[in-house]
C-alpha cells in the first residue's frame, strides 16, 4: 500500500510565534497585539484546512492549536488594553495625559469625588 511521509504543517510554528508576540505586544497601545493575533488566525485557518484534508500526513497540529489559543488571548488582552486607554482618556482628558501637573490635579479631583 501507500505510505505517507509525515510532514509538519507549514505555518504552525509561525502561528505559535505570532500568538506569543500578540500577548507580549498587547501593552503597546493594543494595536500590534491585535494585528499579530489576526495574522496568526488567518495562518491558523489555512493550516487547519490543510490538516483536516489529510490528518494522517501532518504531525504538529498541537503547536497550531496552541498558537490559536495564544492568538485569541493576545487579541482579547489587546482589546482590553485599548478599552483601558479610552477609559483613561475619558476620565482625565487627553491634555492631562500630556501634562504631569494637570494629571495630578485631575487625580486629586477624582479622589475627592469618591
pLDDT of 12-22, one tens digit each? 999 999 999 99
Establish if 90 belongs to a structural domain: no
Contacts of 75 (CB under 8 A, 6+ apart): 22, 33, 34, 37, 38, 41
Query: Over 80: is that where the pLDDT of 1 sits?
Result: no
Let me know if residue 109 belongs to a domain: no
Q: Would 6 be classed as within a structural domain?
A: no
**What is the total count of domains within the chain?**
1
* Residue 1 covered by a domain: no
Q: Which of 38, 37, 29, 27 has its CA nearest to residue 70?
A: 37
Is the residue at 30 inside a domain?
Answer: yes
Domain assignment of residue 88, yes or no: no
Is residue 77 assigned to a domain? yes
How much is the CA Rg of the chain, to the nearest whole Å? 21
Contact 43, 11 (CB under 8 A): yes
The answer to whether position 4 is within a domain reads no
What domain range is 44 assigned to? 12-82
Residue pLDDT, tens place only, 40-91: 999 999 999 999 999 989 999 999 999 999 999 999 999 999 999 999 899 8
Asked whether the predicted pLDDT for residue 36 surpasses 60, the reply is: yes
Amino acid at each position: 500500500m501507500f505510505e505517507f511521509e509525515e510532514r509538519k504543517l507549514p505555518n504552525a510554528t509561525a502561528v505559535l510565534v505570532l500568538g506569543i508576540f500578540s500577548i507580549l505586544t498587547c501593552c503597546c497601545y493594543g494595536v500590534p497585539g491585535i494585528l499579530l493575533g489576526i495574522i496568526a488566525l488567518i495562518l491558523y485557518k489555512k493550516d487547519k484546512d490543510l490538516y483536516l484534508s489529510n490528518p494522517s500526513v501532518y504531525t504538529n497540529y498541537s503547536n497550531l492549536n496552541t498558537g490559536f489559543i495564544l492568538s485569541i488571548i493576545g487579541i482579547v488582552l489587546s482589546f482590553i488594553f485599548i478599552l483601558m486607554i479610552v477609559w483613561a482618556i475619558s476620565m482625565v482628558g487627553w491634555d492631562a495625559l500630556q501634562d504631569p501637573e494637570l494629571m495630578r490635579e485631575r487625580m486629586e479631583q477624582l479622589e475627592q469625588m469618591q
